[in-house]
C-alpha cells in the first residue's frame, strides 16, 4: 500500500519528504543536477526551493540563472535549485525562507498572503483579461505596493514576479460548464484565504491542500477537482488523474522570488546586484516560456484524454459579484490598494 502510493506519487513528481527531516540532511543528493562542478569552493552556497516540477519553465530558467550567477560572480555564489517540493510543502518552505533554512523561495502571492495579507490582491477573480494587463500592474504600482508590504514582513523580494499563469478548473467527476456546476463541488485550493473565499462564493466545498499533496488527493478522490494553469496540469501530470478541463481563466497567478533577509544582506553589495540582475532577467524569460506553454499545450493534453470545454466566463464573474466577493475583498485590502488594482483591471466591485 505504502509502496504503491509512494511510487505513484514519485511518478507524479509529487512526493513529499517528511518535513521533520532537517533540510541539510537531504539537500545534497536532491539538488537539481546543474551539469557543472558543485561549488564546494563557493563563498556563498545558497538553496532556492520551489514547488514546481523540474520540467516547468520556472525550473528550466532557474537552472540557467544559477549557472549565469556562478559564472559572473566568478564562482563566489552557487545557487542550488531544489524543485518539486523536495524541501517540503509551500507552508514548510515559507517557514524555512523566514528562518534561513533556505535562502531563496518562489511563492504565489496568494499563499504568501498568510503572512502578508496584501499579497493576494493580484489573484482576485477575473481581474486580468490578458498578460499585458498583468505585467503592467505587477511591474507597476500594484506590484510596488505588494513588494513594499512583503519588505515590511522582513523578507526580501525581487522586482519581477514569475509567471504561473491563468488558472483553469479540472475535474474527475463532471465538466464545469456553468457556475451552478461548482455548487457543492469538492475542489482543492492552495492554502490561502482568498482561494477559499472565492470558491465559497461559488458555493463549492474548497479544501486547502498544499501542492505536494494534490496528485494523490485527486487520485484517491479526496477531492473531485483542482484549478491550475495548463502548463502545470501538463508538467505535474495532473491529467492522469483528471478527466475534464474547463477553460475558466478565473484568475491569474504568479510567484514572488523571495530571499531570506540575513542571507541576502550577507552578500556584498556588488554581488547582490549581479544576483538580482540574473534573477530578474530569468523571470522575464520564464514569463515568455510559460505563456507560450500555456497557449500551446492544450492540444497535447487533449491527446492525452483531457476533455476541454469553454464556459462563458462572464457568468462566473457575475456570480462572484452577486455573492459580494468583490465588495468583501475591497474592504479587506482597503480603498487605496483596491484603486491600484482597478486602475489595471477596470471596475470590479
Ligand atoms: O499550489 C498550486 O496550485 C500552485 C502550484 O499553482 C501554486 O503554487 C499556487
Exposure string over 66-88, b if 16+ CB within 10 A, otherwise e: bbbbbeebeebbbbbbbbbbbbb
Q: What whole-number distance in Å separates Cα of residue 213 and Cα of residue 82?
A: 17
Predicted pLDDT of residue 4: 47
* Distance between Cα 100 and ligand 1 center (Å): 22
Residue in this structure with the C-alpha cell 522570488, named with its chain if needed:
257
Predicted pLDDT of residue 23: 42
Task: Work out which ligand 1 atom sits closest to the CA atom of 188.
Answer: 3
User: 89-93 long-range CB contacts below 8 Å, 24 or more apart?
Assistant: 89/16, 89/19, 89/51, 89/210, 89/211, 89/212, 89/213, 90/51, 90/190, 90/191, 90/210, 90/211, 90/212, 91/191, 91/210, 92/19, 93/49, 93/50, 93/51
pTM above 0.85, yes or no: yes
Element (H, E) at 189: strand 186-189
Residue in this structure with the C-alpha cell 513528481, named with its chain if needed:
13
Predicted pLDDT of residue 211: 98
CB-based contact 57:290 (threshold 8 Å):
yes
* Distance between Cα 166 and ligand 1 center (Å): 11
**Hey, whose CA ends up nearest to atom 7 of ligand 1?**
108
Q: What whole-number distance in Å separates Cα of residue 89 and Cα of residue 157?
A: 20
Q: Which residues line ligand 1 (CB under 6 A)?
A: 51, 108, 111, 164, 190, 211, 228, 232, 253
Predicted pLDDT of residue 36: 52
Predicted pLDDT of residue 38: 53
**Hey, whose CA ends up nearest to atom 4 of ligand 1?**
211
**Hey, whose CA ends up nearest to atom 6 of ligand 1?**
228
* Distance between Cα 190 and ligand 1 center (Å): 6
List domains and CATH numbers for the chain: 2-165+254-296 (3.40.190.170), 168-250+303-345 (3.40.190.170)
Predicted pLDDT of residue 136: 97
Cβ-based neighbours of 277, under 8 Å, separated by 6 or more: none
Nearest 5°: the CA angle 143, 258, 190 is 80
pLDDT in tens, 249-285: 999 999 999 999 999 999 999 999 999 999 999 999 9
Predicted pLDDT of residue 9: 42
The segments of the chain whose pLDDT lies below 70 read 1-40
Task: Work out which ligand 1 atom sits closest to the CA atom of 110.
Answer: 9
User: Which three cell numbers, joined as nine digits, stand for 130?
Assistant: 490578458
- Neighbouring CB atoms inside 10 A of 232's CB total 27
- Measured over the CA atoms of residue 271, residue 149, residue 191 and residue 61, the dihedral's sign is negative
Amino acid at each position: 500500500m505504502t509502496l504503491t502510493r509512494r511510487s505513484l506519487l514519485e511518478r507524479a513528481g509529487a512526493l513529499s519528504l517528511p518535513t521533520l527531516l532537517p533540510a541539510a540532511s537531504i539537500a545534497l543528493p536532491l539538488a537539481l543536477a546543474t551539469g557543472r562542478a558543485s561549488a564546494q569552493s563557493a563563498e556563498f552556497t545558497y538553496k532556492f526551493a520551489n514547488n514546481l516540477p523540474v520540467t516547468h519553465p520556472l525550473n528550466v530558467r532557474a537552472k540557467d540563472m544559477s549557472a549565469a550567477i556562478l559564472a559572473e560572480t566568478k564562482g563566489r555564489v552557487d545557487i542550488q535549485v531544489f524543485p518539486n517540493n523536495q524541501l517540503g510543502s509551500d507552508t514548510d518552505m515559507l517557514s524555512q525562507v523566514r528562518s534561513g533554512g533556505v535562502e531563496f523561495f518562489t511563492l504565489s502571492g496568494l499563499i504568501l498572503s498568510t503572512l502578508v495579507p496584501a499579497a493576494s490582491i493580484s489573484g482576485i477573480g477575473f481581474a486580468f483579461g490578458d498578460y499585458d494587463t498583468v505585467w503592467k500592474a505587477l511591474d507597476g504600482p500594484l506590484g510596488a505596493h505588494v513588494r513594499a508590504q512583503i519588505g515590511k514582513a522582513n523578507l526580501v523580494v525581487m522586482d519581477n514576479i514569475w509567471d504561473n499563469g491563468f488558472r483553469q478548473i479540472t475535474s474527475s467527476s463532471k465538466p464545469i460548464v456553468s457556475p451552478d456546476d461548482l455548487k457543492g463541488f469538492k475542489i482543492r485550493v492552495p492554502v490561502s484565504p482568498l482561494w477559499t473565499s472565492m470558491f465559497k462564493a461559488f458555493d463549492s466545498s474548497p479544501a486547502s491542500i498544499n501542492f505536494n499533496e494534490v496528485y494523490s488527493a485527486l487520485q484517491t478522490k479526496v477531492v473531485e477537482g483542482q484549478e491550475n494553469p495548463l502548463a502545470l496540469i501538463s508538467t505535474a501530470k495532473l491529467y492522469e488523474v483528471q478527466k475534464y478541463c474547463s477553460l475558466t481563466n478565473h484568475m491569474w497567478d504568479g510567484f514572488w522570488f523571495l530571499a531570506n533577509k540575513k542571507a541576502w544582506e550577507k552578500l556584498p553589495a556588488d554581488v547582490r546586484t549581479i544576483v538580482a540582475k540574473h534573477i530578474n532577467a530569468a523571470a522575464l524569460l520564464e514569463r515568455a516560456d510559460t505563456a507560450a506553454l500555456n497557449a500551446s499545450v492544450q492540444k497535447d493534453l487533449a491527446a492525452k484524454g483531457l476533455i476541454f470545454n469553454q464556459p462563458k466566463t462572464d457568468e462566473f464573474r457575475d456570480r462572484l459579484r452577486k455573492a459580494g466577493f468583490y465588495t468583501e475583498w475591497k474592504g479587506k485590502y482597503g480603498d487605496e490598494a483596491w484603486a491600484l488594482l482597478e486602475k489595471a483591471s477596470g471596475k470590479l466591485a
